[in-house]
Amino acid sequence: MGFKARARKFKSKDEEKGTEESSKPENEVPCGIKGCENFADKHLGGRSLGRNKVLEVWNKSEFEEIKGRVRMCKKCYRILKKETKDSKEWV
Ligand SMILES: [Zn+2]
């Protein structure tokens, strides 16, 4: 039993090394929509969308983009999806 516990300890130590403050690897990507407090992490249903798509719903000054992409939380994504439901050529 002692050996197993030791091996486990070793592993977690290694993981810590890779991502410094990762006692909780969730909720790290803030939503790109300004004023939105949610997170856009994939495991929370967040998405990354092209800025042109986001521009159909929000003004340029209302979101943050990174290299033409906007990280978006599930909630904002649903808003966008609803607002742009007539256009089908995007995911
Ligand atoms: Zn949001």
CA distance 24 to 41: 13
What is the arithmetic mean of pLDDT over 69-79?
Answer: 96
- Comparing 3 with 90, the larger pLDDT belongs to 3
Predicted local distance difference test score (pLDDT) of residue 10: 58
Predicted local distance difference test score (pLDDT) of residue 27: 78
Give, as residue ranges, everything with CB less than 5 Å from ion ligand 1.
Answer: 31, 33, 36, 38, 73, 76
Domain ranges of the chain: 28-85
Q: What is the pTM of this model?
A: 0.65
What is the arithmetic mean of pLDDT over 10-24?
Answer: 52
Ligand 1 centroid, distance to 34 Cα (angstroms): 8
Q: What pLDDT band is residue 76 in, cutting at 50, 70 and 90? A: very high
CA distance 67 to 50: 9
Q: Which amino acid is at 55?
A: L
Ligand 1 centroid, distance to 87 Cα (angstroms): 21
